[in-house]
Amino acid sequence: MNGVAGVRLGTGRGGISASKVYEGRDDVLVMAIDPGASVAGVFTQNGFRAPPVYMAEERLAAGEVRALLVNTGNANAATGKEGFARAHTCCRMLAEKLEIDADSVLPFSTGVIGEQLPLEAMRVGIGKATEVLALDAWPQAAEAIMTTDTIPKLQVRDLEIGGRKVSIRGIAKGAGMIAPNMATMLAFVATDAGIERGLLAERLSRFTEESFNRVTVDGDTSTNDACILVATGASGVRADEESEGFWSALRDLMNELASALIEDAEGGNKTVRVLVEGGRSSDECRRVARSVAESPLVKTAIFAEDANWGRICMAIGNAGLEDFDQSLVDVYIGELPVMKGGLASPDYDEQAASLVMREATYGLRIALGRGSARGEMLTSDLSHEYVKINADYRT
């Protein structure tokens, strides 16, 4: 596979965690970025954000970014000043290997909370990763950031702009936002298009809203979530606000990575798109979609393939919309109307609705009848496996 000019990747095993999850797997990823790239990032808003999250956000704002350092097996969260000191040390280790400024390294961690990062293991992992830096190591990178994910998540887009080739690559991990390791969502996307930094940040923020912020498994966001977008400019092609083909490819790549997170959700067997339309604002549509997508009662019904639309009503009603009029609301399972105007649909066919729900992927559509805005969420089911995985795992 071709990579992205200006970004070299390397992975290595430091042995950061003794947990079986990581047995025999690389646990350190280094992404080395050529000088002159634009970089943007979005970070978790969780109040217990980990030291590396604070550091990455600060350094991104302060100056040039020359490398990303990612480790699994330890989240370096709830680790206090010592956690900051150790993340600093790791960045310095990498900076020395790459002969760059230590402040130009952004750290990312995912794994167990409340334990200090093992420095010797990090040193070993960083050493190995920097020895194998290569443009085409995206597949290895996608594997090295996995925790309890069952499949690596890599998306590739190549397109032409003005007769010249532009590449976009993205990797993500999550195991459904619910995994034993706190389900940190990490995503790293890079392109060799040249993009002005403000525009890059604005588009990352917008596309993140539409992709990663649209998937939910249980509403828990982690202490370490982050998404980084790098534009090296090494292709010689500039992308600006007019570059519709480029932005649409980038948006599509991020949407696919987000969907892959739900498809790989721990204990999840279903991918359900909850589309809410006819709202007064996209914000209220998203609120309703989230209430439905996160309701344990709805999610157990999805698992049971039970066309229990009363639970959907209940969840819609729990979103707390002002001046809400239930008599305007229609609900569809797939294309089948189950509720019309706040009542059981006259055409309601429970068997047909249950057939739709046997599919691995389908949509729930809710029409609020009070406006023209839309919003959506992707969700999975709440299964026996969800409880098993999250109850049986020991930190």
Q: Which residues are tagged catalytic?
A: 184
- Residue 39 φ then ψ, to 5°: -135, 135
Q: Judged by CB, which is closer to its own copies: 63, or 320? A: 320
Closest CB 254 distance from its own copies, rounded Å: 23
- Residue 46 found at the interface with its own copies (CB under 8 A): yes
State both tokens at 133: 């830096």
What does the DSSP 8-state code read for residue 302? H
Choosing from 13, 49, 97, 365, the residue that interacts with its own copies (CB under 8 A) is 49
Give the contact letters, 319-348, x = binds to its own copies (CB under 8 A), - = no.
xxx--x-xx-----------x-xxxx----
Considering only residues 187 through 246, tell me which ones interact with its own copies, judged by CB under 8 A: 218-223
- Residue 114 found at the interface with its own copies (CB under 8 A): yes
- Residue 288 φ then ψ, to 5°: -65, -45
For residues 171-209, one letter each, b for 16 or more C-beta atoms within 10 angstroms of the residue's C-beta and e for the rest, the string is bbbbbbbbbbbbbbbbbbbbbbbbbeeebbbebbeebbe
Q: Judged by CB, which is closer to its own copies: 59, or 287? A: 287
Choosing from 20, 45, 99, 242, the residue that interacts with its own copies (CB under 8 A) is 45
- Residue 108 found at the interface with its own copies (CB under 8 A): no
Choosing from 132, 161, 275, 304, the residue that interacts with its own copies (CB under 8 A) is 304
Q: Judged by CB, which is closer to its own copies: 135, or 345? A: 345
Q: What angle do CA 215, 216, 217 make, to 5 degrees?
A: 135
Closest CA relative to residue 4, chosen from 167, 222, 179: 167
Choosing from 35, 48, 241, 359, the residue that interacts with its own copies (CB under 8 A) is 48
The residue written with tokens 């960083």 in the block is: 126
Q: What angle do CA 299, 216, 148 make, to 5 degrees?
A: 95
Biggest CA-to-CA distance, the chain:
71
Q: Which residues bind its own copies (CB under 8 A)?
A: 45-49, 75, 77-80, 112-115, 178, 182-183, 218-223, 295-297, 300-301, 303-304, 306, 308-311, 313-321, 324, 326-327, 339, 341-344, 382-384, 386-388, 390-395
